[in-house]
Amino acid sequence: MQGITFTQNTPLYEFAQDFLVGGVGAAGRFNGSLGHPAYFERGDGAYLWGVDGHRYLDFNLSHGATILGHNHPALRRAVEKVLDMGLICGCETEYTARLAQQICEIIPCAERVRYLPSGTEVTLVALRLARALTQRPKVLKFEGHFHGMHELIYYGPRHILTDEVRFSKGTPLTAGVPEEFGDFVTIVPWNDAAAFDQAVDREGSEIAAVIMEPVCYNSGCIPADPGFLAHVREVTARQGIVLIFDEILSGFRTGVDCMQGYYGITPDLCTLAKAVANGVPIAILAGKTGIMDELAPLGAVSQSGTYSGHQFGVLAALATLEELGQPSFYPHIRALADRLYDGLNQLFAKHGLPGRVQGLGARFGIYFGIDKPVHNYQEAVKLDTEMMHRFVRDCFQRDIYFQTIGHAIGHSGLSGAHSLEDVDWAMEQFDAVLAGMVR
């Protein structure tokens, strides 16, 4: 490495490919629009600096984790405190209990808490817990919702959903998983109460849990239609099905009570990660006492891990929640969101380009080629992939960073570190980019 001056593309990407699979430490870091990963050396506030020292306004924000902004002083103090504690690991501290207390005070469904290292692990345990409680084998999920890459839930529909048959068994979304595992997963379209009812009518006695993103940010930003969550809550309660809100991505976008508070619908369990600790790894399972007490050591459901509730994540989460609880935080987010989402939609109209922004709170999706509201995954996948990729590439050339994967249905966001001036400057760049796309 001595003597090499790394730039954004080469030779760092070439160098990385000799040692990292695909040149990246995780598949989601490959930017599908750029055709390579973007490499950064540091972040501060709303900005990232590339390995060549170039500064970018960041609308990815660690895939949604960095809600306060990069290098936040409260997070630095939290991490330094863990270092001062001696990096103790695999044991309990006062802070482990204090964070659980705060979660129980602000999250509607939270009466008990358990920690895990990652989002994939926390949804796995949530589903295991639901199956143990109900003694039922199946799980119902919604098309386009993402709940981790494990064998209990990483599935898409096995057949095309029709007006006659509106639900499907699952087919694996990754190689290496037997098709038979998908027999235990039922998939229905998002925001389709009739399809949901059809699936529950036929399979309700076998369904242990319904798991959902209450706002499907993993397909851009698709909120729940009015009344849909209340209907699902009523049906699951009547059928004895555990309702799980996966708030790993939706959590803390509109308030500290997450989408449970925003919609006024309380699930039985919820999962939290990403923004809860501003990018420091931690995942949280929270829920009703009667369900959570099925976990060991009180119950028969196994869950533990050396890095579960690591003090880095615990103290970072305590610091993050204190910042999110400041009276000015969410009004600032709403002001940024109103200016960005309305402004970008106006630019689509100004340039005569089909496209729309859907956003709720601190996170949004851009749908090129679509000029009407998006209600489900099948509508979202009709976006113009090539237009989206060009937009991201041209923004990158103008010092704005978006992250997309191959099919370009990405989610982007705002942080507390973004300013109205940042948004206004970004709007000028978006205006120029869209004008160039028209030409």
DSSP output for 62-128: HHHT-SS-BT-HHHHHHHHHHHHTT---SS--HHHHHHHHHHHHHSTT-SEEEEESSHHHHHHHHHH
Q: Identify whether residues 23 and 97 lie together within a single domain.
A: no
Same domain, 160 and 100: yes
Number of domains in the chain: 2
Q: Is residue 304 in some structural domain?
A: yes
In this structure, the chain runs to a length of: 439
221 and 277 within one domain: yes
Q: Could you tell me if residue 126 is inside a domain?
A: yes
Q: Are residues 185 and 296 in the same domain?
A: yes
Q: What is the pLDDT of residue 162?
A: 72
Q: Residue 217 gets which letter from DSSP?
A: G
Domain boundary among 324, 351, 383: 324
Is the N-terminal amide bond of 297 cis, ω within 30° of 0? yes
Shared domain for 109 and 14, answered yes or no, is no
Q: CA 427 → CA 99, 159, 315, distances in Å?
A: 39, 41, 36
Cα(437)–Cα(394) distance, integer angstroms = 9
Task: State how far the Cα of 248 lies from the Cα of 212, in Å rounded to an integer.
Answer: 11
67 within a domain of the structure (yes/no):
no
The two three-digit tokens of residue 73, written as one number = 């002083």
Q: Which residue in this structure is represented by tokens 């729940």?
A: 224
User: What integer pLDDT is reported at residue 160 of this predicted model?
Assistant: 77
Give the per-residue pLDDT at 1: 46
Question: Is residue 405 included in any domain, yes or no?
Answer: no
Are 348 and 354 within 8 A, CB to CB? yes
Position 6 scores a pLDDT of: 60
Q: At what angle do helices 420-438 and 329-351 cross, to 10 degrees?
A: 20
Residues 375 and 367: beta-carbon distance below 8 Å: no
- 23 and 78 fall within a common domain: no
Is residue 422 domain-resident? no
Model pTM above 0.85: yes
Q: Is residue 47 part of a domain?
A: no
**In sequence order, what are the residues at sequence separation of 6 or more whose Cβ sits closer than 8 angstroms to the Cβ of residue 88?**
311
Per-residue pLDDT of the chain in tens (439 residues, 90 and over written 9)? 455 556 655 678 989 999 999 999 999 999 999 999 999 999 999 999 999 889 999 999 999 999 999 999 999 999 999 999 999 999 999 999 999 999 999 999 999 999 999 999 999 999 999 999 999 999 999 999 999 999 999 999 998 777 777 899 999 999 999 999 999 999 999 999 999 999 999 999 999 999 999 999 999 999 999 999 999 999 999 999 999 999 999 999 999 999 999 999 999 999 999 999 999 999 999 999 999 999 999 999 999 999 999 999 999 999 999 999 999 999 999 999 999 999 999 999 999 999 999 999 999 999 999 999 999 999 999 999 999 999 999 999 999 999 998 766 889 999 999 999 999 999 999 999 999 999 8
Residues 11 and 114 grouped into a single domain: no
The answer to whether residue 378 sits within a structural domain is: no
Give the DSSP per-residue string, 118-180: SHHHHHHHHHHHHHHHHT--EEEEETT----SSTTT-EEESS---SS---EEEEESSTTS-GG
What local confidence, expressed as pLDDT, does residue 5 receive?
57
CB 275 within 8 A of CB 42: no
- The Cα-based distances of 8 to 246, 363, 395, 397 in angstroms read 35, 26, 15, 11
Whether 280 and 182 map to the same domain: the answer is yes
Q: Is residue 117 part of a domain?
A: yes
- Coil/strand/helix, residue 397: helix
Residues 108 and 10 both lie in one domain: no
From 324, 349, 366, the end of a domain falls on 324
- CA 284 to mean position of chain CA atoms: 14
Contact of 208 with 136, CB cutoff 8 Å: yes
* Residues 18 and 150 occupy one common structural domain: no
Provide CB contacts within 8 A for 238, sequence distance 6+.
Answer: none
Nearest to 75 by CA among 327, 282, 249: 282
CB neighbour list of residue 391: distance below 8 Å, 6 or more residues apart: 33, 366, 368, 402, 433, 434, 437
pLDDT for residue 164: 73
Query: What are the structure tokens assigned to 129, written together?
Result: 């817990």
Question: Is residue 209 a contact partner of residue 184, using CB atoms and an 8 Å limit?
Answer: no
Domain-terminating residue out of 289, 324, 359: 324
The structure tokens listed for 147 are 């709940």
Domain around 163:
73-324
Three-state SS letters, 286-337: EECHHHHCCECCCCCECCCCCCCCCHHHHHHHHHHHHHHCCCCHHHHHHHHH
Shared domain check, 148 and 23: no
Query: For residue 231, which amino acid is it?
Result: H
- One domain, residues 26 and 103: no
CATH number at residue 114: 3.40.640.10
DSSP code for 225: P
